[in-house]
Amino acid sequence: MKTLTVDLGSRSYPIHIGAGLLTDQHLFKNIIGNRRPVLITDENIAARYLRPVADSWKIPESDHLILPPGEANKTLATLESIFDFLMKRRCDRKTVLIALGGGVIGDMVGFAAACFQRGIEFIQVPTTLLAQVDSSVGGKTAVNHPRGKNMIGAFHQPRAVIIDTDTLATLPAREVTAGLAEVIKYGLIRDADFFSWLEQNIDALQQLQPTTLIEAIAGSCASKSAVVSADETEQGIRAILNLGHSFGHAVETATGYQTWLHGEAVGLGMRMAADLSVLIGSLSADDAQRINRLIDRTGLPNQLPANSDPQRLLELIYADKKTESGTLTFITMNGIGNATINKGITDQQVLQTLEQFR
């Protein structure tokens, strides 16, 4: 098992990465202490992992909540159902919520924990590659709104993150590919050596080769932890973690959160960010080609969904929380491994980029 630390002073927490951790009773007892665990997951994850986790961690069936799966259910209505359950079960501030699942479950359970009784603890137990390398770390929690992704939420750090790499063995290939988008992102934003390592090892990652997988997850989590420790609430440098996300979130919102996985949208968004960076002269065409070649090898999308309207996507980008005072903010690249926050992008440059991917 590898253990990393997100350094936030008195609110620091560990990220444990390894095989077989879902049923590690000793690890769980050390983290939870004398708190009352309530396990929240979705129907897909429950069918595979609820029973072994609940049995190992001795969580009674009355403290299991199973939600409908998918991004389309990441809503205020689902959040209210979590609150209803916690109230009916007479949960209190000694309760700790266990978020067992992908990024949707992690975001919703984290947000519920941030709000219930003005804040209780929760533990992230991510079961998808995307959640393991990105959304489970850093304390961003939220639900979607029909007009924008993750527009209603809070910063609320977990008590711990438990990453069991065995869960990836049963992950659909499409979900693995979506997770690789976020892994590639870390190479693009701050670690050119990691990007080069990915060029050499992307095939092994797609095949879920164990040691390569753990190295990629640990490297991704270490990068994110460093950025979060420096800027917890995204007042500055943390924004670089949003590379490709302004474009990607617009695509997700335009398609009702039902057509593409988040990582697929981010994968295309990173291609667009590279194209935009070339357009403004901060990234060489050769580097953009390297980026596209690596993304191509994963099978991530290279075009917008059919019938996409660039003008509509631009409107959705303006509605995104990354826009400040009506000014577009994009993450662009000054080379591979060197992302920057750019507030000087024009509507025309965005539209020109979008048109390239129709």
> Which residues are marked as active site?
118, 140, 182, 224, 234, 238, 242, 245, 249, 262
Joined together, the tokens standing for residue 155 give 């910063």
**What contacts 169, CB < 8 A, 6 or more positions away?**
208
Please give the C-alpha separations between residue 328 and each of 21, 27, 189, 247, 323, in angstroms, as whole numbers.
42, 44, 19, 12, 5
Q: Give the DSSP H/E element, type plus range, for residue 280.
A: none
Nearest to 223 by CA among 110, 133, 341, 331: 133
Token reading at 6: 């997100």
Phi, psi torsion values for 149, nearest 5 degrees: -85, 135
Q: How far apart, in Å, do the first and last CA atoms of the chain sit?
A: 44
Q: Give, in order, the Cα–Cα distances in Å from 273 to each of 52, 292, 315.
A: 42, 11, 17
Strand segments (E) across the chain: 2-6, 13-18, 36-42, 64-67, 95-101, 121-126, 140-145, 148-155, 160-164, 330-333, 339-342
d(CA 177, CA 192): 21
Greatest CA span in the chain, whole angstroms? Answer: 59
Cα three-residue angle 9-12-14, rounded to 5 degrees:
155
Q: Mind giving me the DSSP string for 90-155?
A: T--TTEEEEEEESHHHHHHHHHHHHHGGG--EEEEEE-SHHIIIIITSS-EEEEEETTEEEEEEEE
